[in-house]
Amino acid sequence: MPVVHPTTAGLEEPYGHTARIGLIVLSTDPVIERDFHHMVPDDSLGVFSTRIYLETPNSDKTFLALKEELAPAAALLLPDSRLDAVVFGCTSASTLIGPETIQANIQQGRPGVAVTNPATAALAALRYFNARRIALVTPYTPQMTENVMAFLQQEGITFSSVRVAGYDTDHAIGSIPADFFVDAVLASDLSDVDAIFISCTGTKALNVIERIEEKTGLPVVVSNQAAFWHALKLSGWRQNIPGYGRLLNSLGDENE
């Protein structure tokens, strides 16, 4: 039996010493964790995730059932460490459950933490760009799309064009080629439009934000990009992150 030698190890800050983001992911979502980790620029920013069960196919009923899972899920996110913000990772469910209920339930599990979701974040991003009239593209069914539209309309957003792919499972949504979103935007009525919003955390749209911005000259807001941006703002992050459109390149703006 070899001798066991106690060896002193010094300690340093763990990953995420500048900002730590908690992420509550749907059990069916194949994309959002990948996207968040792709947007992380270095080890000073940490993303820590847990998952909650979503029954399929997606519907108002299955999305509303998620609200009961938020508190226990939030309690699993770094319970013994600092956490700056928590993102609930579902745009459609956020429009149905409502930002206030989402925040209250998450803060039951992590008292005092800042909370956001893709719907609230997208609205904040559109307001950042002073956007009142937008082109909307979603992977959803028309009914799910109408929920997102109603959420934005009550905040004064109008639509020049709405295009939907018609899917109701995250597996299918995550299988839509990124080029679909480019083509759908370019086929939209972009006259008198302030911005483009591509909804849903389960799409590959993050990959084509800058291509769409270059082709249209308009700011592009995508659910995962917006949720990441908003969580960083709530965490006090003030460093631009290139490669994902104008929105993440605004984080270092001293006027914000």
Domain boundaries, the chain: 19-117+226-250, 120-222
188 exposure class (CB count in 10 Å sphere: 0-12, 13-18, 19+) = buried
Give residue-wise pLDDT tens across range 10-42: 999 899 999 999 999 999 999 999 999 999 999
| Residue found by looking up tokens 């992590």 in the block | 110
The total number of residues shown for the chain amounts to 256
CA dist 173 and 183 (Å) reads 16
Per-residue pLDDT averaged across 103-127, rounded?
A: 99
Taking only the tens place, the pLDDT of each residue in 42-70 is 999 999 999 999 999 999 999 999 999 99
Paired tokens of 153: 């309309």
Fold of 19-117+226-250: Rossmann fold (3.40.50)
Q: How far is 52 from 214, CA to CA, in rounded Å?
A: 36
Indicate the helix (H) or strand (E) that contains 124.
helix 118-128
Radius of gyration of the chain (CA): 19
Mean pLDDT of 200-223: 99
Structural contact between residues 86 and 107, judged by C-beta atoms closer than 8 angstroms: no
Element (H, E) at 24: strand 19-26
Give tens-digit pLDDT for 139-178: 999 999 999 999 999 999 999 999 999 999 999 999 999 9
pLDDT for position 255: 55
CB within 8 A of 126, min separation 6: which ones?
134, 152, 157, 194, 195, 197, 221
* Contact between 73 and 109 (Cβ < 8 Å): yes
In the three-class reduction of DSSP (H, G, I as helix; E, B as strand; rest coil), residue 209 is classed as: helix
* Domains 19-117+226-250 and 120-222 equal at CATH topology level: yes
Give me the pLDDT at residue 197, please. Answer: 99
Per-residue pLDDT, averaged over 212-228, amounts to: 99
Confidence of residue 179 (pLDDT cuts 50, 70, 90): very high
Q: What is the pLDDT of residue 256?
A: 52
The model's pTM: 0.96
Largest CA distance in the chain: 77
Yes or no: domain 120-222 corresponds to CATH 3.40.50.12500: yes
pLDDT band (50, 70, 90) for residue 254: low
Alpha-carbon dihedral of residues 140, 143, 149, 151, nearest 10 degrees? -110
The answer to whether residues 208 and 238 touch, using CB atoms and an 8 Å cutoff, is no
pLDDT score recorded for residue 202: 98
CA 93 – CA 114 distance, rounded (Å): 19
